[in-house]
C-alpha cells in the first residue's frame, strides 16, 4: 500500500467529521445552498468536497461506484482504506461518483421501491464550479433557490418519480451543494 493512501483523511476525526456531517446534511436539507467543507485530501481527480462526502457518508455497508476518470487504483485504495466502503457496480451502489457525463446512463442506478424508497443511489457529481442556474422549488427552499445543473430534463424526470428517484450532490473544489429527488427544477428565465 502506498503512503498516499494512508494520508488525506480527517486530521482530527471527531471534530472534522462532525463539521463535515453538519455541512453535508445542511446542503441536502437546503437544496441549492452551497457549503464550503474541508479536512479531506483525496487523490486526483476527486475534489476536496467529494473526499469529505466519502469520509462522512461511506462505510463498509455503503457500496461505491466510480465512474470514468474517478475510477483509478489510487481512488479505490483511498476509499477502501479511509471508509472501508466496497467498490461495486452501478446497479448495486449506494453512492456513484464521477462527472455528469461519466455517470451516464442514469437508468443504471437504483431508485428505491415503493416499500423502501430510501434504497436508492446518491450521485456525487464532480463539476468545475457551483453557482446560480436552474430554478429550484420544494421542501427546504423558501420561495426559490438556484443552482447550475448539467442538464434540466434528467432532474425533472427524477422529481416526477418522487418518492422514488436518486439524490445528488454536486462537488467543486471545497464546495458542495445538493439536490434531493423532491426538488422541482425549472429552467432559469431570461
Q: What residue segments make up the domains of the chain, in order of their start?
A: 3-180
What does the pLDDT look like over 116-172, one tens digit per residue? 999 999 999 999 999 888 999 999 999 999 999 999 999 999 999 999 999 999 999
Rg (CA), the chain: 16
Cα diameter, the chain: 53
| Class of the domain covering 3-180 | alpha beta
Bridge-based pairing state of the strands 122-126 and 167-172: parallel
Secondary structure element (H or E) that encloses residue 27, with its range? helix 13-29
SS3 95: strand
| Top-confidence residue, 141 or 7 | 141
Other CB atoms within a 10 A radius of the CB of residue 34 amount to: 16
d(CA 52, CA 9): 8
User: pLDDT value at position 187?
Assistant: 85
Separation of alpha carbons 51 and 37, rounded Å: 10
Kindly report, residue by residue over 53-93, the tens digit of the pLDDT. 999 999 999 999 999 999 999 999 999 999 999 999 999 99
Query: Residue 6 and residue 33: Cα distance in Å, rounded?
Result: 32
Q: Is the pLDDT of residue 190 over 60?
A: no
What is the pLDDT, as a whole number, of residue 11?
82
What distance in Å separates the CA atoms of residue 187 and residue 190, rounded to the nearest whole number? Answer: 9
Cα 76 from Cα 151, distance rounded (Å):
28
CA dihedral 68, 70, 73, 78 (to 10 degrees): -160
Q: What is the pLDDT of residue 10?
A: 82
User: Residue 61 has which C-alpha cell?
Assistant: 455497508
What is the Cβ-side half-sphere exposure of residue 145, based on CA atoms within 13 angstroms? 25
Q: Specify the pLDDT at position 73.
A: 96
pLDDT over 50 at 1, yes or no: no
Amino acid at each position: 500500500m502506498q503512503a498516499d493512501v494512508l494520508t488525506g483523511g480527517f486530521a482530527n476525526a471527531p471534530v472534522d467529521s462532525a463539521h463535515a456531517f453538519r455541512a453535508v446534511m445542511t446542503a441536502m436539507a437546503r437544496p441549492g445552498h452551497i457549503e464550503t467543507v474541508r479536512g479531506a485530501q483525496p487523490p486526483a481527480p476527486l475534489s476536496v468536497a467529494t473526499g469529505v462526502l466519502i469520509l462522512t457518508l461511506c462505510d463498509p455497508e455503503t457500496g461505491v461506484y466510480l465512474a470514468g476518470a474517478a475510477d483509478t487504483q489510487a481512488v479505490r485504495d483511498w476509499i477502501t482504506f479511509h471508509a472501508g466502503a466496497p467498490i461495486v457496480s452501478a446497479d448495486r451502489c449506494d453512492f456513484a461518483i464521477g462527472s455528469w457525463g461519466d455517470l451516464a446512463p442514469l437508468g443504471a442506478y437504483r431508485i428505491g421501491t415503493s416499500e423502501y424508497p430510501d434504497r436508492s443511489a446518491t450521485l456525487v457529481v464532480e463539476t468545475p464550479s457551483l453557482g446560480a442556474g436552474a430554478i429550484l422549488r420544494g421542501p427546504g427552499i423558501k420561495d426559490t433557490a438556484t443552482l447550475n445543473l448539467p442538464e434540466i430534463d434528467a432532474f425533472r424526470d427524477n422529481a416526477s418519480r418522487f418518492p422514488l428517484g436518486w439524490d445528488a450532490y454536486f462537488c467543486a473544489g471545497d464546495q458542495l451543494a445538493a439536490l434531493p429527488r423532491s426538488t422541482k427544477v425549472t429552467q432559469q428565465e431570461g
